[in-house]
Structures are given as C-alpha cells and as structure tokens.
Structure 1
Amino acid sequence: MTGRLSGRRVAFLVAPEGVEQVELTRPWKAVQDAEGLPELISFEYGDVQAFNHLDKADVFRADKPVSEASVDDYVGLVLPGGVANPDLLRTDPASVRFVGSFFDADKPVAAICHAPWTLAEAGVIRGRRLTSYPSLQTDLRNAGAEWVDEEVVIDGRLVTSRNPDDLPAFCEKMVEQLAQQADQGHTAPA
C-alpha cells in the first residue's frame, strides 16, 4: 500500500450491531499496515457485534463512544458496511454529526457497501460522484449524488466502493487519502 500513516489515528464508526466483519477488519488491517492507529467508535463503550452477511461473527470492543469523539483527533474516518450498521448509524444524531464533521474539516472519509446511507443522512453527498452496494443507488441519487457502478470511486476526499469484492482497491485508495492528510501535517500522531 502506498503512503504511511506514522502513528496517526483513524476513526472507524460502527453501530453496536450489524457491521459486516470483513468490511471492518480488512480496512482496519490496512490502516495498521500503513502504521496508523485505528480506533473503534460506536454509540457507547461496549461490544460491537459483527456479521458475515446475516450470520453472527466476532464481537469487537468499542474504544470510545461517538459522543466523546472529535474530528480533531483523527486523520480520517472509515465507515464499514453491512445492511444494519449504516441503517442504525443514520438514526443516531451524534453519529450523523460526527460524519458531517469530517466533511466540514475536509478530512478523508471512506465508505463501503451500504455505508453511504449514513453519508446521505449527514447531507454530504449532493453533487458528489460515488458508488455503493447497488440497492442504494436510488436513495443516493435522490440525495443528490451521481451514483456509478465502479470498483472504487474517489471524489475529493471521499472514497467509496460497492462490496467486499472491492476491498483491495478500496483499502489502497483509502490509505492513499489518509496518508495525504497525514503528510499535510493534519492531526498530530497519538
């Protein structure tokens, strides 16, 4: 992977249940491989239930509740998919505000699969070109985005992909965006 994160922290925002495990663990490992520090953020401290499609998978521990997280502490944000995960995130006002704060700060955001639902709720996709799991295309177009069916799409600081098959390209472009942010000196190492 190109770029190094040199100890910079990267936020991973997930709901307490419903995150697609591979869409959490593969980008997490990519951040670690780039010498970054991933941090799991959820509604509150506690367990996060991951899934392999509809089957329960591993349980992860949230590092911080979203109410205590600040965009200033991170070089960027990763939004894993799964159907339930973004559906729950978009109903949580603190999570929606947290997502929007990364766009306000012009920091990288990477969203895969169903995760752009949360972006639509945050009101940050109007006029942007992006991709997602195909079933979201009407919702995203209705929110003002240009939806395309491509492996990975970069629009400014936003990186999007469609599904787990796209993870190699997604992780590569995600780390590139995060490393560019780190190289600009934004967000000191932890």
Structure 2
Amino acid sequence: MSDTPKVLIIATNGFEQAELFDPRQALLDAGADVTLASIGFEPIQGMQHQEKGDTIKPDALLTDVDANDYDALLIPGGVANPDRLRMEPAAIRLVRDFMSAGKPVAAICHGPWLLAEADAIDGRTVTSWPSIRADLSHAGATVIDREVVVDDNLITSRKPDDIPAFNTALLEKLGLLEDA
C-alpha cells in the first residue's frame, strides 16, 4: 500500500447520506485519496432514512475505474443504492476484483447486498441491516449482530449508529490509525 492510500467509494442514487459522507470525511481527514464512482457523472441523491438528503457529484464512472488503482473499496448502504448497484456489471466486477486481490472492502447497512450479488461472502462472517441478513446467509455467509465485523479484508457494519466503529476498522486496516 502506498503512503497515501487510495480508496474507491461506489454509490448511486439512494445512498444513506451518513454512510457515504461520514466515512469519506474520516478517510480524507486521515490523509487518504478518495474517489467516488457511480453510474453517471450527474450528482447522486443521498437519503437521510426516508427523506432526501444532500447530493454529491461523482469523480468517475464505475466503468472507468480499476481495482488495481486503489487500496480499498467502500460500499455505503441505503436501500436503493446497493439494490441498483447489484444490477451493474461494473460494480460486481469491482467487488470481485477487490475481494480476489485481498484488498480491504468495507460495506455498511444494505451495502453487503452487493457482496452477496458478487458471490464474495461465501464462508465469510459479516453483519448488516437486519432485513438483508437472510440474503447474506443464503449467499453462504455467517451473519452476526455486531457494530462492526472484520473478517480478514472484509469490514461490515449494521447501520449509521455503527459508523464510528466502521470508520475505525477501515482506517486501521489502511494503516491510517495507530493501534488503539
């Protein structure tokens, strides 16, 4: 990993605002180089639970980014975001490429849906928002209810309240935090 870790965030409309903005800011504050990739270049709509939140303009297209150029992948939740991304071949490819390379992959809330779609969690231990836990289990994962679960390179969390622990686990994995 380089001195300045490069982190790719993939998201589209319907991401849970805190699950993209808060980890992104923690990464930037810790000195990481962060790129947001999406389906298009138009601003994407965040959600604060059921209400519309802020938008953010992507830096790149999913189809134009390569896992080889990054040190970690971040997948925010929100119901619509991972549900839409799991129908995008480029998003599936990215998840598979990061996982096969053993690079850190961090997914929160509904984000692990994309991991299941990419056949990336068979035999792994994860957590998530309660409504998708059966899907993850059917994809071969052991699902536990904990604020953050780290299984080798895979980091998962359940909900916005877990963001502090989620951020800490990702920053530690990237070597951006001293041992706590």
Normalised-by-shorter TM-score class: over 0.9
Aligned length: 175
Which residue is equivalent to 1:115?
Answer: 111
Cα offsets for 1:4-51 (capped at 9, x unmatched): x84322000002x10000000110011012100111100122211111
Q: 1:145 aligns with which of 118, 141, 146?
A: 141
Query: Percent same amino acid among aligned pairs?
Result: 45
Cα distance in 1 for partners of 2:174, 2:37 equals 18
Q: Normalised by the size of structure 1, how large is the TM-score?
A: 0.89
1:62 paired with 2:68, answer no
- Bigger RCO (CA 8 Å, 6+ sep): 1
Structure 2 residue ranges without an equivalent (≥5): none
Gaps of 5+ in 1: 181-190
What is the match of residue 83 of structure 1?
79
- Per-residue CA deviations over 1:85-122 (Å, capped at 9, x if unaligned) read 00001011111111111011110000000000000000
Cα deviation digits, residues 27-85 of structure 1 (max 9, x gap) = 00110121001111001222111110111111100100011001111110000000000
Q: How many angstroms apart in 2 are the aligned matches of 1:168 and 1:8?
A: 19
Secondary structure of the equivalent of 2:36?
strand
CA contact (8 A) 2:5 2:174 kept: no
For residue 169 of structure 2, the aligned residue among 173, 178, 181 is: 173
Residue in 2 that maps onto 1:14: 11
Contact 1:6 1:34 in 2 (8 A): no
User: CA offset at residue 176 of structure 1?
Assistant: 0.9
User: 8 Å contact 1:14–1:85 — kept in the other structure?
Assistant: yes
Deviations 1:132-164 (A, max 9, x none): 001111100000000000110000100000000
Q: Which runs of 4+ in 1 moved over 4 A?
A: none
1:157 aligns with 2:153: yes
* Distance in structure 1 (CA, Å) of the matches to 2:15 and 2:155: 18
What SS does structure 2 have at the residue aligned with 1:126?
A: coil
Q: Does 1:30 align with 2:30?
A: no
AA at the equivalent of 2:31: E
Q: Secondary structure at the match of 1:179?
A: coil
For residues 146 and 120 of structure 1, what CA distance do their matches in structure 2 show?
A: 12
Q: Provide TM-score, normalisation by structure 2.
A: 0.94
Q: Does 1:104 align with 2:100?
A: yes
Q: Aligned equivalents of 1:7 and 1:153: distance in 2?
A: 25
- Hey, what's the Cα distance between the residues in 2 that align with 1:6 and 1:166? 27
Task: Provide the residue aligned with 2:35 in structure 1.
Answer: 39
CA contact (8 A) 1:111 1:160 kept: yes
Aligned AA for 2:7? V
RMSD across aligned positions (CA): 1.2
